[in-house]
Structures are given as structure tokens and as C-alpha cells.
Structure 1
Amino acid sequence: MTTFDDNKPTPRGELAIQVIPLPSDTNANGDVYAGWVVKQMDIAAATTAGRISKGRNATVAIDRMEFLSPLRVGSQVGCYCELVDIGRSSMKINVEVWTLDRTATKHRKVTEALFVFVAIDDNGRIREVPEQP
């Protein structure tokens, strides 16, 4: 972000998935469960890791998460992924969650976390990540 963009925050990375939470994904107040959000983030990051590793991968760690605002049923939820680092067999992918509420005109950030994946073969053993173009 440049100084010109500071008052208009935008997601970092590419949109990996976009979903809409349903009433069954919420608590009695209509706020989406944190576990549902983490699941969506893991799916988005795993999809990105699979593209990078050109095959199977497994989540090995999730760095700290902090929720900035509640996520409401019926809102559009986008998970944006950005490759942060790549090792011999591991990938670090930052995932940001942004939402657009049904009556809103501006997106807002809900949370973010760093996911660490390791590439695995068909037997579940660690393998090298192919060289990136």
C-alpha cells in the first residue's frame, strides 16, 4: 500500500475463494462461528498451496488470528491468499478475510493469519516443492 492508499485498505493477494455463510454457520446472535472462518481460510490456503506444490499438501501450522469485526450471516466472504515464503518442502501463505455485508457498499477486513503447509506425496511423506517459474 502506498501513502495514497492508506485511507482505502484493500486485500493483499489473490482471491482464492468467495462464499456466503448460512444461518447454520452462526451462533444465536447471527455472527459466524470462528471455526467456520478458519475452515474457509484453510480451504483457500490449501488450494493455493496445491497450485504451488503441484500436488498434495498438508496444513502444519496456523499463526495467530485476531478477529477485527464480526462476520454476519448472508455476507459475501472472500479469502485472499499471498505466498509469503517457500522452502524446500514448505510454503507460508498469508490469508486475509474480507467481507461485504448485504447492506454495505464497502468491504471490510475480518481477520488474517499465516498458514504453513508442507508438500506431501501419495504416501503422506514430505516431498520437495517444484521450482517456481
Structure 2
Amino acid sequence: MSTNSSAHVELPTDMELVLKVIPMPADCNASGDIFGGWVMAQVDLAGAVIPMQHAMGRVATVAVNEFVFKQPVRLGDILSFYASLTRVGRTSITVKVEVYAERFGTKGKYTKVTEASLTYVAIDEQGKPRPVPGLAA
């Protein structure tokens, strides 16, 4: 996939910036692109921020509902992870995560590289599902 034609986009104003990270050389394949699994792990970390705050405690990932790699992530990119709450169930919370790359040498210009939907479940000290606070048990 050619990244020369990737359009620069505006960062979302209706989502929360939950993580910024710079991939390191150990996160690259031989072509200089960042491993998809590394990106997925960062999305999982970023996706957990809002559910942890909302659940006021521990959460565990129970589903990756959707995961789309739109553009490669390259060494030197600064990644910004934005998240928003999309659904709250009795014990579960679903979030949307969008990842934007600020390419090396393109300060202030962003390309959407990944988007995902993940579901987390609120858990107690024993790792068992618990009701999300503020909702009827």
C-alpha cells in the first residue's frame, strides 16, 4: 500500500487523547514498518484508559470487535491514540480507538493509520466480572 497518497487529516475533537508513543527500532520488521502486533498491543493499552476510569477499577479485554490497519506505521512516526466510549453494558464497556501518525519531518500533519473497536469487562479482585458502577446491578 502506498503511503505517498495518504491524505492528511484533522485530529478528532470528540475523542480523548489517551496515549502518545514513538515506536522504536526493535518494533520494526525488515522493511522498516512497525509490526502490526505491536500496534495492536498499544491500541489495547490506549483502549483500556476510558473503561478503567469509567469502571473505577480493573478491566480486562474481552473482545476486539474490529481492527483496521489503514496505513503502515513507520519508524520515526509519533503516534497519537484517541478513544471514545461507544457502549456501556452491565459489566462491559466498548470503546472506539483511532490512531494517527505524525510522520517524521511533517510536524502538525497527521495520517489516520489504525482504527479499532474493543470491549472490556469490569473485574473484581478475583478476576470475576462485576457491575460497572453507577448502573443497576
Gaps (5+ residues) in structure 2? 1-7
**1:81 paired residue number:** 83
Q: TM-score, normalised by structure 1?
A: 0.89
Other structure's SS at 1:65 match = strand
Q: Percent identity?
A: 40
- One-letter amino acid of the counterpart of residue 76, structure 1: I
- Mapped partners of 1:37, 1:64: distance in 2: 14
- Detail structure 1 runs of 4+ shifted over 4 Å in the superposition: none
Other structure's SS at 1:97 match = strand
Aligned length, in residue pairs:
126
- One-letter amino acid of the counterpart of residue 52, structure 1: H
**2:122 paired residue number:** 119
Answer yes or no: is the 8 Å Cα contact 2:9–2:112 preserved in 1: no
Q: Per-residue displacement from partner, 1:15-54 (whole Å, max 9, x unpaired)?
A: 1000000110010111000001010010011122111100
Other structure's SS at 2:81 match = strand
* Residues 9-88 of structure 1 mapped to structure 2, 5 A cutoff: 9-11=10-12, 12-88=14-90
- Mapped partners of 2:33, 2:9: distance in 1: 25
Q: 1:130 aligns with which of 111, 130, 133?
A: 133
**1:3 paired residue number:** none
**1:90 paired residue number:** 92
Q: Which stretch shifts more, 98-107 or 80-89? A: 98-107
Q: TM-score, normalised by structure 2?
A: 0.87
Deviation at 1:8, TM superposition (A): 4.7
CA RMSD after TM alignment: 1.5
Deviation at 1:81, TM superposition (A): 0.5
Gaps (5+ residues) in structure 1? 1-6
